[in-house]
């Protein structure tokens, strides 16, 4: 049996290409990038050894602090936003629309597959003030509020990014959480109803506790993605005005390609990777603890 299913030559042939490409294009560059952190320069002008200077600079550079704060703020706000909206939608699907939810589920999911750049350009126009007053400002005018120049300040631009990304992703989280809710055995609702639970009490004491596992994996998935936000910010605000909406990913990109500082860029990338790693480890540890508790 194992002579065939454990044939080393076959393993090499089947696994080889994938492992080779993966190693050369992902694993090797990860360590290569680590090596860059002790250099200054880029492949065109050459590299000079600077030791720990780049890493040390991370701690004193106010732009890194700003970018780190923005990244975390965005990840927290968006994770709460998209999982919450997605959860409310999934409750709507399961308890309100029931069997009729198919079409609406499909429709709300559609923005998920749309190219981020296209969505960002659309939202730029939706929130525009010039040359034409966009629909959002027109709506505000209608209820008597003056037009807001959404992209003129970091605070308002941040909310446009958040609104856009929730619009883009709510259908995804709704379907993800819907799948979790559908898996809850019908009998549990039944017995709770017979015991007199209904509406909000049913949701709080039956639905939420039972959907915790899938809520939890949604949150993990969301944090993992939102820490790496790049496309939406680049296409919508390009980090501006100033650097008020610049996450670590974009700051790394600008440092490396606008200013040609590969060493410092790699250091920022390392900071980002460590952040992702820490969050992943933290989540896995806390989830394991919960599991042992019962």
217 in contact with another protein (CB under 8 A): yes
Give pairs for 125-132: CB < 8 Å, separation 24+: 127/151, 127/160
Interacting residues with another protein between 77 and 116 (CB under 8 A): 89, 92, 96-99, 104-116
Q: Which two tokens stand for residue 66?
A: 């700003």
Q: Are 127 and 119 in contact (CB under 8 A)?
A: no
CB of 23 to another protein, least distance (A): 9
Residue numbers 29-58 binding another protein by CB under 8 A? 29-30, 32-33, 36, 43-44
> Which residue number, 28 or 56, has a Cβ lying nearer to another protein?
28
**Minimal distance, residue 60 CB to another protein, in Å:** 21
Q: In angstroms, what is the minimal distance from the CB of 245 to another protein?
A: 16
Print the binding letters for residues 59-78 with another protein: x by CB under 8 A, - otherwise: --------------------
Binding to another protein in span 121-180, by CB under 8 A: 121-123, 125-126, 131-135, 138, 167, 171-172, 175-176, 179
* Whether the Cβ atoms of residue 85 and residue 178 lie closer than 8 Å to each other: no
| 14 binds another protein, rule: CB under 8 A | yes
Judged by CB under 8 A, which of 83, 157, 234, 237 binds another protein?
A: 234
Helix ranges (H only) for the chain are 2-5, 8-22, 28-36, 53-60, 62-91, 101-113, 116-126, 135-142, 154-182, 186-194, 199-202, 208-226, 231-236, 248-253, 262-293
For 47, list phi and psi in degrees, rounded to 5. -115, 145
DSSP β-ladder status, 46-49 and 39-42: antiparallel
Question: Closest separation between CB of residue 82 and another protein, Å?
Answer: 12
224 is a site residue for another protein (CB under 8 A): yes
């Amino acid at each position: 049996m194992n002579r065939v299913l454990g044939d080393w030559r076959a393993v090499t042939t089947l696994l080889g290409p994938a492992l080779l490409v993966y190693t050369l294009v992902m694993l090797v560059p990860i360590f290569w990038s680590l090596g860059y952190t002790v250099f200054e320069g880029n492949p065109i002008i050459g590299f000079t050894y600077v030791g720990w200077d780049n890493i040390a600079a991370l701690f004193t550079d106010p732009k890194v602090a700003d970018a780190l704060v923005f990244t975390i703020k965005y990840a927290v706000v968006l994770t709460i936003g998209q999982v919450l909206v997605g959860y409310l939608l999934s409750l709507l699907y399961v308890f309100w629309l029931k069997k009729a939810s198919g079409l609406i589920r499909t429709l709300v999911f559609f923005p998920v597959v749309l190219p981020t750049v296209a969505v960002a350009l659309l939202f730029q126009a939706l929130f525009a003030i010039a040359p034409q007053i966009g629909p959002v400002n027109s709506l505000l005018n209608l209820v008597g509020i003056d037009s807001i120049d959404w992209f003129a300040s970091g605070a308002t631009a941040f909310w446009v990014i958040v609104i856009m990304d929730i619009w883009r992703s709510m259908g995804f989280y709704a379907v993800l959480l819907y799948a979790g809710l559908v898996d809850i055995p019908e009998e549990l609702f039944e017995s709770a109803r017979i015991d007199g639970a209904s509406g909000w009490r049913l949701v709080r004491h039956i639905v939420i506790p039972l959907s915790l596992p899938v809520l939890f994996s949604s949150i993990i998935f969301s944090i993992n993605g939102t820490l790496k936000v790049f496309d939406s910010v680049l296409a919508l605000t390009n980090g501006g005005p100033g650097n008020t909406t610049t996450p670590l990913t974009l700051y790394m990109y600008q440092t490396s390609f606008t200013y040609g500082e590969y060493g410092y860029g790699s250091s920022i990338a390392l900071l980002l990777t460590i952040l992702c790693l820490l969050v992943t480890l933290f989540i896995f540890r806390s989830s394991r603890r919960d599991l042992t508790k019962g």
